[in-house]
Structure 1
Amino acid sequence: MSALFSPFTIKNFTLNSRLVLPPMANEASDESGAVNEKHIALYVRRAGVGMVIIEHAYVQLAGRVKNNQLGIHDDRLVSGLRRLVEAVKACGAVTGIQLAHGGGKVTRAAAGGKVVAPSAGFVPGSKEPAEALEQAQIAPLVADYVAAAQRAFAAGFDFVEI
């Protein structure tokens, strides 16, 4: 058990323990996808672990699963994300964020339009059928992931999870 609570180095990062808080759908944002004080308090309460991976953040509005999901699709969100990162890092945790597109789990209401996934049909647990992602939609989606990763690093995250 002592190894569980001892420092651990992964590449350039030394974690204060081998405990990791995985990304979870906290759904604490407003409809803009912005970080708020509820987010910060939630993560600070759990930031005594070696690594914190912030919840799935949508890279484009069409990939938002719920209206109160965290976003990273807009430059205006970087300052709030920076506040979150600074608060978690102040507790000693290496901090990353999960970049996401909800695919077939997206709802039209949350995404503001059609639902796309790797293939057409229902995803288990979804209430609406998805349309197959078209070839022409792939490059813009990849570009949105790249832009989201750049925002994450601008906000101070140590890594991104895709």
Structure 2
Amino acid sequence: MHLFEPMRLRSVTLRNRLGLPPMSQYSADEHRVTSWHLTHYATRAIGPGLVVVEATAVSPQGLVTPQDLGIWDDAFTGPLTRLADVIREQGAVPGIQLSHGGRKGSRTRPWDGDRWIRPEEGGWEVVGPSAIRFADGYPVPKALTEREIDRVIDQFAEAAARALACGYEFLELHAGHGRLLHSFLSPAANRRTDGWGGDIAARSRLLVEVVRAVRARWSDDLPLGVRLSCVDWLEDGWSLDDSVWLSRVLRAEGVDLVDCSSGGILRPLSVERKPGYQVPFARRIRQETGIATASVGMIRDLWQAGEIIEAGDSDLVFLGRSMLVEPLQIVRAAAQGMVPKSLVPLQYRRAVDQLGGTAGAGEDVPPEL
């Protein structure tokens, strides 16, 4: 296995096994794509095989901040279509993550203090499986009724249909980081005693029902992924064994890839984050269930990503913060003769040749990548 080999998911072929993960930009204008998004994603689509647009809310109640992207209304589809086109023009497959913020909603942006926006300030009611707050300074969420749960399922399905109409070719459901779907999975947040809580099957029911509803509206030819917080980092929370069990279920329901992250079910939580600390989750799920996985989190560069693929730890590697800091690292690596020059836009290849000399002109990839 090789970082710059193609990867096929249903009818979609990624040019390599490198991806940009969904990372919220908190820069939408009335929940619409702005020039910031077009510039941000176009730049980072140079090189990777897959670019996943940030968490996009399936309903107004599903927003985390007022500056989140939305996909619950046809008014948003024109700019979202343009964004998919911009990503595709750079050679990457455009993907999008659908999200409901649940009990983490009604917040200001991180650089605006990350504080609760109260109802009298224009905030909105936050919801969850049970009336358990995420952390101090957060409101107690309203426990969803069964009718409201059914509506959430419909909202995800409707959002999937809009994403398909906008030209996205990969869809990811956000079931991690304490958002609504994750909060139903975790016993730390879900204390329900009806059919949506209790044992692992009941706690997983909402995600499974969302997958089924989305699959009915999303093309059979296109891949569907799920981001999981594979562990809660709590003794009595969601565990890696749970994630292995759930991944088998998701695969049977038509999910093609599990994006393996962790944490986020409550705050504060102390976790030692070191390079590649979440890779073992992707490795175990891949080995024990046969579903494709993505590694993400504290993966610092192309070389570390290459080692992960070479070891067979995952099928895809997402570079997040690294791509924020150095979006064109693939161009620099091409100038050093370390990645295929074919990944570099024609407009930049002269610079690659001049800076890299004969090494930059090569098309071969060294064994370490």
Q: Same fold (TM over 0.5)?
A: yes
Q: Report the Cα distance in structure 1 between the residues aligned to 2:81 and 2:146, rounded to whole angstroms.
A: 34
Q: Report the Cα distance in structure 1 between the residues aligned to 2:101 and 2:117, rounded to whole angstroms.
A: 13
Aligned to 1:113: 124
Name the % identity. 37
Q: Report the Cα distance in structure 2 between the residues aligned to 1:18 and 1:98, rounded to whole angstroms.
A: 18
Give the match's secondary structure for 1:35: coil
Asked which structure has the greater RCO (Cα within 8 Å, sep 6+), the reply is 1
Aligned to 1:127: 138
Q: Report the Cα distance in structure 2 between the residues aligned to 1:20 and 1:159, rounded to whole angstroms.
A: 12
Larger Rg: 2
- Say if 1:125 and 1:37 are closer, same or farther in 2 by CA, change over 3 A: farther
Aligned to 2:31: 33
The CA deviation at 1:90 is 0.5
The residue type equivalent to 2:88 in the other structure is: K
1:85-131 alpha-carbon deviations (Å, 9 max, x no partner): 00000011111111111001012749843110121121147622211
**Aligned pair 1:137/2:135, yes or no?**
no
In terms of mean alpha carbon deviation, does 144-153 or 121-130 score higher?
121-130
Aligned to 2:60: 61
In terms of mean alpha carbon deviation, does 7-16 or 151-160 score higher?
7-16
The residue type equivalent to 1:99 in the other structure is: L
- Contact (CA 8 Å) 1:117, 1:130: kept in 2 or not? yes
**Aligned pair 1:160/2:171, yes or no?**
yes
Q: What TM-score comes out, normalization by structure 1 length?
A: 0.91
Number of aligned residues: 160
Q: Report the Cα distance in structure 2 between the residues aligned to 1:19 and 1:123, rounded to whole angstroms.
A: 33
Q: Report the Cα distance in structure 2 between the residues aligned to 1:13 and 1:89, rounded to whole angstroms.
A: 12
Q: Report the Cα distance in structure 1 between the residues aligned to 2:128 and 2:136, rounded to whole angstroms.
A: 14
Q: Report the Cα distance in structure 2 between the residues aligned to 1:13 and 1:50, rounded to whole angstroms.
A: 11
Q: Report the Cα distance in structure 2 between the residues aligned to 1:124 and 1:24, rounded to whole angstroms.
A: 22
Aligned to 1:76: 75
The CA deviation at 1:12 is 1.2
Q: What TM-score comes out, normalization by structure 2 length?
A: 0.41
Q: Report the Cα distance in structure 2 between the residues aligned to 1:126 and 1:99, rounded to whole angstroms.
A: 26
Q: Report the Cα distance in structure 2 between the residues aligned to 1:132 and 1:21, rounded to whole angstroms.
A: 34
- Say if 1:155 and 1:120 are closer, same or farther in 2 by CA, change over 3 A: same
Give the match's secondary structure for 1:136: helix
Give the match's secondary structure for 1:5: coil
The residue type equivalent to 2:8 in the other structure is: T
Q: Report the Cα distance in structure 1 between the residues aligned to 2:162 and 2:117, rounded to whole angstroms.
A: 25
Q: Report the Cα distance in structure 2 between the residues aligned to 1:126 and 1:145, rounded to whole angstroms.
A: 28
The CA deviation at 1:159 is 2.4
Q: Report the Cα distance in structure 1 between the residues aligned to 2:124 and 2:65, rounded to whole angstroms.
A: 13
- Contact (CA 8 Å) 1:61, 1:112: kept in 2 or not? no
Aligned to 2:90: 91
The residue type equivalent to 1:94 in the other structure is: V
The residue type equivalent to 2:92 in the other structure is: A
Give the match's secondary structure for 1:157: coil
Q: Which runs of 5+ in 2 are unaligned?
A: 107-115, 174-369
Give the match's secondary structure for 1:52: strand
CA RMSD of aligned residues (A): 1.8
Q: Which runs of 5+ in 1 are unaligned?
A: none
In terms of mean alpha carbon deviation, does 7-16 or 145-154 score higher?
7-16
Aligned to 2:102: 103
